[in-house]
Amino acid sequence: MEKRISLECRGKDPAQVHELNLDNCRTVGEFEGLTEEFVNLTRLSVISAGLTSFKGFPGKSLTNLEKLDVSENRISNGLHHIQDCPRLTHLCLSGNKLKDLSVLEPLAKLEKLSHLELLNTPISELEKYRSQVFELLPQLKVVDGQDKEGNEAPSSDEEGEGEEGGGGEGDSQAVNGNSSKEVVDCEEDLEEEEISEGEEEEESGEEDDGPGLSALYGDGNLEDSEGDEDFNEDGVEPDDDHELDDSEDEVNQSELRGKKRKHEEEETG
């Protein structure tokens, strides 16, 4: 255990360490290396370490310890070693050899102790053991996940998340209220944009009603288009007098051809 503690400290002074995880470390059945220097330790976990007692536990020095987990060991007594941890709120003794309720009596001095776990111990096999534990330790709020009324209680981890989240239901409602307001504002903005776009489309439709004269006649104006009718395909303005002269010539030539044809008939006759 001493080597494991040294590794977990990672070169820090014991007074600077706030949490220690010594799960599955090797022990001789008791605490070794956990000195009185760990005065600021708040969490300690020693699961499945082969502990048989709390011998060597410096309870009087761990005045800031809040959570202690020694589950899955072979501890049967010696809880008086932890009765001097005034800030201890969570204690897990599950999976140990605690046979009688009397071994829990030293815990009565822990005024802030609110959560106790005793599953998989001989005590948990007793009939109505929870009610007996609550009677023995009235400061408790939760025993093995249930409160005094038998209701399911949140785990210690869930409670920690709620505290770190900063404020629980009130803050949650405030956040939800702000979110709802943001959604409403967003919807109003979208409606205003749709109305604005609809008005723009209507105005655009009025302006573009029909293909327009410019589209029909190209880039030129209407007057230029009408003026183009006075010119022929070669771009020359037609001459009305010239057309009349051509027509008279055709008539004269036709009369001459007729007279010539008559003269030839008389000679042949």
pLDDT digits (tens, 9 = 90+) for 179-210: 444 444 545 555 565 666 656 555 555 555 54
What proportion of the chain, given as a percentage, has pLDDT over 90? 55
Model confidence pTM above 0.85 = no
- Give me 155's structure tokens: 């785990």
Q: What is the DSSP letter of 220?
A: S
| Cα three-residue angle 106-80-18, rounded to 5 degrees | 110
6 CB neighbour count, 10 Å cutoff: 11
Element (H, E) at 256: helix 240-268
Give per-residue pLDDT as tens, 127-145: 999 999 999 999 999 999 9
Among 153, 120, 160, which Cα is nearest to 134's? 153
Among 183, 33, 185, 75, which Cα is nearest to 17's? 33
Check: CB of residue 50 under 8 Å from CB of residue 74: yes
Least confident of 35-49, 81-95, 127-141, 170-184: 170-184
> Is the model's pLDDT at 234 over the cut of 70?
no
Element (H, E) at 257: helix 240-268
Average pLDDT over residues 37-65: 95
> Is the model's pLDDT at 80 over the cut of 90?
yes
Q: Which amino acid is at 189?
A: D
Alpha-carbon distance 77 to 88, whole Å? 18
> Is the model's pLDDT at 64 over the cut of 50?
yes
Average pLDDT over residues 71-99: 96
> Can you give the pLDDT at residue 107?
96
3-state secondary structure of 90: strand
b/e map of 215-251 (b: 16 or more CB within 10 Å)? eeeeeeeeeeeeeeeeeeeeeeeeeeeeeeeeeeeee
